[in-house]
Amino acid sequence: MEPEVHLVRDTEVAVPDLAGWRRARMPQIPRDHRFEVVPDWVCEILSSSTESKDRRIKMPLYARYGVQYAWLVDPDAQRLEACALRNGQWRHLGTFGDGDIVSVQPFEAVAVELGDLWV
């Protein structure tokens, strides 16, 4: 289930494919689909029908509300793009491909084998 993130209650709503919060910022998960705490991390799964919206509409929206990290995952290209928000702008952390094993913010403590994502 995709989280419905209410950046401004019932006015500015985003629905990332995946989102994550640090426990200190969200010690309890809401009982319904409405999340009113801005995520620390979002992930958008790109497709030919969503890529333009994800890049041109959602990424600036996430930056405006202070989401600290964003990943864009393209299953067709077997690619992960990682970004971090710095001074209100997205900073590119790297683009990683099929055979890469990555440890990238905000999950730098974990090694992710990207080949496992495309299986």
| 24-38: pLDDT as tens digits | 999 998 887 788 899
| 33-88: pLDDT as tens digits | 788 899 999 999 999 999 999 999 999 999 999 999 999 999 999 999 999 999 99
pTM: 0.89
Structure tokens at 35: 């999340």
* C-alpha to C-alpha distance for 50 and 44, rounded to whole angstroms: 9
Pairing of strands 12-14, 4-8: antiparallel
CATH code for residues 4-118: 3.90.1570.10
Domain positions in the chain: 4-118
Pairing of strands 4-8, 34-35: parallel
